[in-house]
């Protein structure tokens, strides 16, 4: 009987050991699942256990349903004017405030006028517009409001507004024209912001309820079409692209055909950056335009200029205008420079209005250009 009891106790102990062992094993397996999942992450387990729990389920459906779940609703044009004002006041305001301070001095001597001139020139207003503005300011300030800051501000506002010319037609002609889509061609030298502007413009069009097709006529690098594709996917615009190294004119033609087939309202064609001095590349751009025009008129040719390049932009503008009949200027990177005077200089040079301004790298950092908002942002204290 005693030995039986010993056997029973031994069996119970064995059972207990087995149960404890099994529980430990199961627990271990549980943690190992968490440890394996974040293998790609070099983070320590503590943070990694949190990361995959959030990321893993979110990442998978996003990849398979891209363009549906992640489609964005862009900001409408109206809200952008306020941002235009704020950003411009930040980047250009110092020039305007400097002018006001100088012109409000009761003893406006020659040295002060020299400072005014210097300020205008460093803001990239250009030599001829600076000379004209100086002349008008000299006469008016002396006669109308010497030493009166409010009067000076009024005069400066009126004169600057006249220079920027509020009467110019700044509408971007991208809308449907009867039974065909509006066609926009985007051109410029390398890195000015053409692709970004094309993407931002697509967002503006989508925000106003238009169906958009994008043409990736920068066939030099596959990455260029990918960049545009990303913009298209975000707002649900169809992107027409061709093989790397293919004929950009063919892609542009196809994009217009696709817009016509799908009944889209707007087709925006992004082109490769090219130096205005390279004749072969400029000829190629001329061909893109001619080929598209075999199928549809082009409603808008937007030249994208980087505001930070200053007067160099004027030389580019002249050549592009000759080759493709530029109808509007997009001045990008105005957020990063106080040289807003280039607006006046380029409009004078080409007789073509600045229609849009780029105010940052964010997807909705493109605003319609508004002469009054621009001037007010410059000179309001
Ligand atoms: N700060 C600022 N950056 C901008 C603006 N517009 C474009 N950029 C930046 O400028 C860089 C070049 O932009 P892209 O759109 O690739 O220029 P691109 O003209 O298409 O360049 P290529 O096709 O290589 O000729 C990117 O880093 C953009 O984010 C702007 O208004 N403000
Ligand atoms: Mg590009």
The 10s digit of each residue's pLDDT in 221-276 is 889 999 999 999 999 999 999 999 999 999 999 999 999 999 999 999 999 999 99
CB of 194 shorter than 6 A to ligand 1: yes
Cα–Cα dist 331/169, whole Å? 16
For the CA of 365, the nearest atom of ligand 1: 31
Cα–Cα dist 306/189, whole Å? 9
Ligand approaching nearest to the C-alpha of 304: 1
CB of 359 shorter than 6 A to ligand 1: yes
Residue nearest to atom 27 of ligand 1 (CA): 361
Residue 30 DSSP one-character state: H
**Taking a C-beta distance cutoff of 8 angstroms, is the pair 304, 262 a contact?**
no
Ligand approaching nearest to the C-alpha of 303: 1
3-state SS class at 194: helix
pTM: 0.80
CB of 195 shorter than 6 A to ligand 1: yes
CB of 190 shorter than 6 A to ligand 1: yes
Q: What is residue 358's predicted lDDT score, i.e. its pLDDT?
A: 94
CB of 368 shorter than 6 A to ligand 1: no
Q: Return the exposure string of 76-109: e unless at least 16 CB atoms fall within 10 Å of the residue's CB, then b.
A: ebeebeebbbebbbebbbebbebbbebbbeeebe
**Taking a C-beta distance cutoff of 8 angstroms, is the pair 113, 96 a contact?**
no
**Taking a C-beta distance cutoff of 8 angstroms, is the pair 141, 152 a contact?**
yes
CA of 18 to the centre of ligand 2 (A): 67
Cα–Cα dist 329/326, whole Å? 8
Cα–Cα dist 314/312, whole Å? 5
Q: What is residue 44's predicted lDDT score, i.e. its pLDDT?
A: 30
pLDDT > 60? residue 168: yes
Residue 193 DSSP one-character state: S
CB of 337 shorter than 6 A to ligand 1: no
**Half-sphere exposure of 282 toward its Cβ, with a 13 Å CA cutoff?**
16
13 pLDDT band, cuts 50/70/90, is: low
Q: What is residue 86's predicted lDDT score, i.e. its pLDDT?
A: 81
Look-up of token digits 């960049």? 227
**Taking a C-beta distance cutoff of 8 angstroms, is the pair 301, 289 a contact?**
yes
Ligand approaching nearest to the C-alpha of 365: 1
CA of 263 to the centre of ligand 2 (A): 26
Q: Tell me the average pLDDT of the chain.
A: 82
CB of 274 shorter than 6 A to ligand 1: no
CA of 194 to the centre of ligand 1 (A): 6
CB of 358 shorter than 6 A to ligand 1: yes
């Amino acid at each position: 009987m005693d030995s039986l009891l010993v056997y029973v106790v031994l069996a119970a102990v064995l059972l207990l050991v087995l149960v404890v062992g099994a529980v430990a094993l199961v627990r271990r397996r549980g943690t190992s699942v968490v440890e394996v999942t974040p293998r790609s992450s070099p983070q320590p387990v503590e943070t990694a256990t949190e990361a995959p729990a959030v990321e893993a389920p979110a990442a998978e459906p996003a990849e398979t349903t891209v363009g549906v779940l992640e489609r964005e609703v862009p900001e409408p044009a109206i809200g952008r004017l306020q941002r235009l004002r704020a950003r411009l006041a930040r980047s250009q305001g110092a020039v305007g405030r400097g002018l006001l301070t100088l012109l409000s001095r009761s003893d406006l001597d020659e040295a002060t006028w020299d400072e005014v001139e210097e300020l205008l020139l460093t803001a990239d207003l250009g030599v001829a517009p600076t000379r004209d503005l100086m002349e008008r300011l000299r006469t008016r300030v002396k006669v109308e409001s010497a030493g009166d800051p409010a009067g000076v501000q009024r005069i400066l506002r009126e004169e600057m507004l006249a220079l920027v010319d509020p009467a110019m037609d700044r509408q971007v002609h991208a809308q449907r024209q009867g039974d065909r889509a509006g066609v926009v061609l985007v051109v410029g030298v390398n890195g000015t912001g053409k692709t970004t502007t094309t993407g931002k413009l697509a967002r503006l069009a989508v925000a106003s309820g238009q169906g958009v097709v994008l043409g990736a006529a920068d066939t030099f690098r596959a990455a260029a079409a990918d960049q545009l594709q990303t913009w298209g996917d975000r707002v649900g615009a169809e992107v027409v692209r061709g093989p790397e190294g293919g004929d950009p004119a063919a892609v542009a033609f196809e994009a217009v055909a696709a817009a016509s087939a799908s009944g889209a309202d707007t087709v925006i064609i992004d082109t490769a950056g090219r130096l205005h001095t390279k004749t072969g590349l400029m000829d190629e751009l001329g061909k893109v335009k001619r080929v598209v025009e075999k199928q549809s008129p082009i409603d808008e040719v937007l030249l994208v200029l980087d505001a930070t390049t200053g007067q160099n932009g004027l030389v580019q503008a002249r050549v592009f205008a000759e080759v493709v009949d530029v109808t509007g200027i997009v001045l990008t990177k105005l957020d990063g420079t106080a040289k807003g005077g280039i607006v006046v200089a380029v409009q004078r040079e080409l007789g073509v209005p600045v229609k849009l301004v780029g105010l940052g790298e964010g997807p909705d950092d493109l605003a319609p250009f508004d002469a009054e908002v621009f001037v007010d942002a410059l000179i309001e204290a």
